[in-house]
A and B are shown apart, each in its own frame.
Chain A
Amino acid sequence: MRRRQFLKMSCVLGAGVALCGLGVDLVPIEAWADEIKKIDRLKTARQTMSVCCYCSVGCGLICATDEKTGKIINIEGDPEHPVSEGSLCAKGAGIFQTTEANEHRLTKVLYRAPNSDKWEEKNWDWAIDRIARLMKEERDKSFITKNAAGQVVNRVETLAHMGSSNLDNEECWSITAWARSLGLVYIDHQARV
């Protein structure tokens, strides 16, 4: 066995050069080369702050977006965050698997027709048109202007909304505003759960 001074990563860019210089026929296999690449890509990546999407501690995240591909290549804790100080539990540490890197991410609008056994791909315009149409039809049909006691109530009881505590404040507020503007009373979400 031989001890050897391992050269600084930045010098090893270009894979294998310095190591080969020591007489070892080193073929940089994908994973190893990726490992070198990752730390170097990290050094030139755009760092963005985010907040963990799981429990309510609200741990700080640093997302590294590769300057060449525009994709997120690393997500880890933010050591500057006063509550989390860089820490993350299993879920937070794994947030990378909620990104595009996860092949299961929904990326297309899907539609299931009545009685169908499968999803079909649609586009947003089609979906929004249809959804708004369905909402309007039901609201127009079932709107209750006055209750049995003759009081003005201006509500709809055949439409319901749920969710979400997984959305940002501004989205939650927008949904509340929308739901009320339609006259919904069946409104709920995870806060009760």
Chain B
Amino acid sequence: MADGKSILVDVSRCTGCRGCQVACKQWNGLPGTKTKQTGTYQNPPDFSHQTFKVVRFEDGRTKDGKTYWHFFSDMCRHCMNPPCLAGAQGDEMIHDDATGAVVYTEGTSKSDFEMSLSVCPYNIPRQDPDTKVMRKCTMCFDRITSGLTPACVLSCPTGAMVFGERDAMLAEAKRRVDILKKTWPKAQALNADDVRVIFIVTDDPLKYHKYAAGV
């Protein structure tokens, strides 16, 4: 089936501007957390109950000595068959029919958080330590059901992030990968059949993040 929505995240166009990271905070009214400079542009270091979008930075040199800097605008994949739902106790985790968005409600304070986290291939779900509510990207469910684009996608300047009907996004992913392969033979769309948030990378997925292609 090719219904519902998808987001394309094409890292070959990403400049790491972090518009998406901040737009997510702004839309969701999430606080900025206290962080430390540890010798990287990346901050916060990872997801939390207050951070649904993290731009990951990895720099290095290729075997031929060329410098690279990869940016990976990490977020929940909104899986086609979300394994995290295994931690649900009732209806508190919503897997929306129309869009395919996976949304945690306040009721997840009763969910089995450890279960959901352990089965998530991308290490996404987090838990508010006080309320025990589980938190992650909502695919801006409130926005997309009101005819708006997700906040992160709207902010993206270079078209690295695109939002639309799933079949259109799958077609676009294929079109882009075909072009990218000419310059980067390793270019691929990661797990396109299994996820709604489809990342396109030009290098070995592990060069971006441990969980870029899932475990």
Contacts and interface: CB of A to CB of B under 8 A. Distances in A.
Whether the complex brings A and B within 8 Å at their CB atoms is answered yes
B19 A92 contact: yes
Size category of the B interface is 35 or more
A134 B144 CA distance: 57
A87 B13 CA distance: 14
Interface string A91-103: 1111010000000
B143 A39 contact: yes
B26 A35 contact: no
Contacts of A22: 91
**Chain B residues touching A, majority SS:** mixed
Given A27-B106, A38-B29, A93 B19 contact: yes
A8 B143 CA distance: 11
A24 B92 contact: yes
Interface in A45-89: 74-77, 79, 84, 86-89
A90 interface: yes
Contacts of B133: 29
A5 interface: yes
Interface in B140-155: 141-143, 145-146, 149, 151, 154-155
A27 B155 CA distance: 32
A19 B90 CA distance: 12
Nearest to B140: A39
B64 interface: no
B29 A26 contact: no
Interface of A: 1-6, 8-9, 19, 22-24, 26-29, 31-32, 34-36, 38-39, 43, 74-77, 79, 84, 86-94, 96
